[in-house]
DNA sequence: GAAATAATATAGCTAAGGCTATTTTTCAAT
DNA sequence: ATTGAAAAATAGCCTTAGCTATATTATTTC
C-alpha cells in the first residue's frame, strides 16, 4: 500500500489521505482561534442574566486569569463587535454578541448533557464539555441531539 | 437565587459554582497547551510507521503549515524529550514520544469511531475528532468505549 | 468633600504558534 | 567532482494569550 491509494481512514497501519488530514488540521486550528471569544461571550451573557452586570473582576475570577488578561481580551471583543464597554461601567453585549452567546450556550449545553447521557459523571462532563464544545460541528450536535431525544423517549417508555 | 447558593449546574438561568467553573476553564487551558505536541507526535509516529521516515516537509504538508513552523515546533518536542533529531537526517521518537504517540493514537481512534457510531458522517467525524480528542478525559473515553462495545454487540445480536 | 477602597487601565515582559525570505547543508545526477 | 535540487536551518516579523507591577479613575464611607 502506498501513501496515495487510500481515501478513507485506515485504522491499522497506513496514513489517511493527505488532503483530508490537512483539512482536519486546518479546521481545528480555525476553531482554536475562536474558542476564547466564545467562552468570554458566553460567560458575559451568563453574568448579565444572573447579576445584571459583568465586571472585569467577575470575568477574571470565573476564568481563573488575571484582570489585565481580561482587559486585553475585552478590547478584542470590542474590535470584533461582540461587546460594548463604558469606561468604569460594565460590559454589554451587542446584537452580534447576544447571537453568538445564544449559539454557544446551546451548543455547550448539548455537549454537556450528551456526555452525561452516556454515563460520564456531571463533574467530568462539565470539564470536558468546556473544551470539546468548540470542536463540535453542527452535524455532530445534531447527532448528539438525536441521541438525547432517543434516550429521553426510551426512558419514558421504560418507566412510564 | 443569589450567585452563591448553587453547587451544581443550573441549566435555565443561573451561574454554576465559581470554583467548579474555574476548574473547567483551567483544565481546558491546560489541554490547549499540549494539543499541538500531541498532534505532532501522533503524526510523526504515523509517518514513521508508514514510510520509515518523518521529514519536516512531510509534517508541514500534512499539517498545512510552513516548514519553519514545523522546525520550531520540533525544537520544542526535542526540549520536552519526545523526539530526537539528527541534523539533516529525519526525526525519531524517544521512548516517551512513542508512549505519548500510542496514547494519542488510541484516544483519537476511540473518539473518531465513537462519533461515527452515533451517526456522524466519516468526514465530519474525522474533522471533529481532530479537535475534540484533546479534551476527552479518561473517564469520557471509557464511556465512549462502553458505548462502542454495546452497539457492537447489539449489532451482532440483531443481525446474527 | 476628603480619604479609603475597589475597579479599571496601562506598561512591559514572556511564550506559543504562525508567516516570508534567505542561507546552509545534504543528496542525486551528470 | 561538479552542479542542481531538495531539505533544513536561520533571521526577523506578527498575533494571541498569559503574567506582574503600577497608575488612574470611580465609588463608598466617614
Ligand atoms: Mn462554554
Ligand atoms: Mn468552552
Ligand atoms: Mn490526533
Ligand atoms: Mn488533534
Provide the CA B96 to C1' D8 distance, Å, integer.
Answer: 25
CA distances from A26 to A19, A30, B65 (A): 11, 6, 9
From residue B149, give the alpha-carbon distance in Å to each of A62, B144, B145, B155, B156. Answer: 38, 9, 6, 10, 11
Nearest by Cα to A20 from B64, B12, B10, B78: B64
> How far is ligand 4, taken at its centre, from the CA of residue B75, in Å?
19
Least confident range of A81-90, A118-127, A141-150? A81-90
Nearest to A22 among B27, B35, B64 (CB): B64
Strand D contacts (Cβ < 7 A) comprise: A 33, 35-36, 64-66, 68-69, 72-73, 76, 87-89; B 29, 55-57, 67-68, 71-72, 74, 85, 87-88, 90
* Ligand 3 center from residue A78 Cα (angstroms): 34
**Which nucleotide's C1' atom has the smallest distance to the CA of A86?**
C8
CA–C1' span, B76 to C13, in Å?
21
Q: Please answer yes or no on whether A131 and B32 come within 8 Å at the CB atom.
A: yes
Is any atom of strand C within 7 angstroms of residue A30's beta carbon? no
Angle, to 10 degrees, between the axis of helix B67-79 and the axis of helix B18-51? Answer: 110
- Each residue's pLDDT tens digit, B82-115: 999 988 888 999 999 999 999 999 999 999 999 9
The Cα–Cα gap between B136 and B95 comes to 24
- Averaged over A115-132, what is the pLDDT? 98
Top CATH class, A1-93: mainly alpha
pLDDT at B141 over 60: yes
pLDDT in tens, A125-149: 999 999 999 999 999 999 999 999 9
A50–B3: do the CB atoms touch at under 8 Å?
yes
| Mean pLDDT estimate for chain A | 91
Instruction: Say which CATH architecture domain A95-160 belongs to.
Output: Orthogonal Bundle (1.10)
Q: B89 vs A91, which has greater pLDDT?
A: A91
Q: Which nucleotides of C are covered by protein (CB under 7 A)?
A: 6-12, 16-21, 25-27
Cα A157 off chain centre by: 32
Q: According to the model, what pLDDT value does residue B160 have?
A: 56
What confidence tens digit (pLDDT) does each residue in A3-37 have? Answer: 333 344 334 557 899 999 999 999 999 999 999 99
Query: Which residue has the least CA–C1' distance to nucleotide C8?
Result: A88
In chain B, whose CA is at the least distance from the CA of A46? B15
Residue A77 has pLDDT above 60, yes or no: yes
Average pLDDT over residues B139-149: 97
Alpha carbon dihedral A73, A77, A80, A85, in 10-degree steps, equals -130
A1-93 and A95-160 have identical folds: no
Q: Is B115 on the interface with A (CB under 8 A)?
A: yes
Check whether A53 has a pLDDT greater than 50.
yes
Per-residue cell: B92: 525519531
Best-predicted range by mean pLDDT (A96-110, B48-62, B87-101): A96-110
- Residue contact B28–A131, C-beta within 8 A: yes
- pTM score of the predicted model: 0.91
Task: Report phi then psi at B136, rounded to 5.
Answer: -90, 115
Euclidean distance between CA atoms A57 and B56, whole angstroms? 44
Q: Which of B18, B64, B136 sits opposite A26 (nearest CB)?
A: B64
**What ranges do the domains of chain B cover?**
1-93, 95-160
pLDDT for B82: 98
DSSP bridge pairs for B91? B85
Name the closest residue on chain A to residue B10, using Cα atoms: A109
* pLDDT band, residue B4 (cuts 50/70/90): very low
C25 C1' closest Cα residue:
B88
The H or E element containing residue B93 is strand B91-93
Amino acid at each position: 500500500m502506498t501513501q496515495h491509494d487510500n481515501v478513507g481512514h485506515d485504522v491499522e497501519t497506513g496514513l489517511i489521505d493527505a488532503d483530508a488530514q490537512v483539512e482536519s488540521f486546518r479546521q481545528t486550528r480555525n476553531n482554536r482561534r475562536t474558542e476564547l471569544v466564545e467562552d468570554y461571550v458566553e460567560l458575559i451573557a451568563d453574568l448579565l442574566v444572573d447579576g445584571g452586570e459583568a465586571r472585569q473582576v467577575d470575568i477574571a475570577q470565573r476564568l481563573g486569569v488575571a484582570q489585565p488578561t481580561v482587559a486585553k481580551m475585552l478590547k478584542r471583543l470590542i474590535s470584533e463587535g461582540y461587546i460594548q464597554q463604558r469606561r468604569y461601567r460594565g460590559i454589554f453585549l451587542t446584537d452580534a454578541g447576544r447571537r453568538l452567546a445564544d449559539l454557544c450556550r446551546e451548543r455547550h449545553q448539548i455537549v454537556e448533557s450528551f456526555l452525561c447521557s452516556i454515563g460520564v459523571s456531571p463533574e467530568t462532563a462539565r470539564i470536558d464539555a468546556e473544551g470539546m464544545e468548540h470542536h463540535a460541528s453542527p452535524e455532530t450536535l445534531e447527532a448528539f441531539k438525536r441521541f438525547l431525544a432517543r434516550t429521553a423517549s426510551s426512558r419514558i417508555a421504560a418507566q412510564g
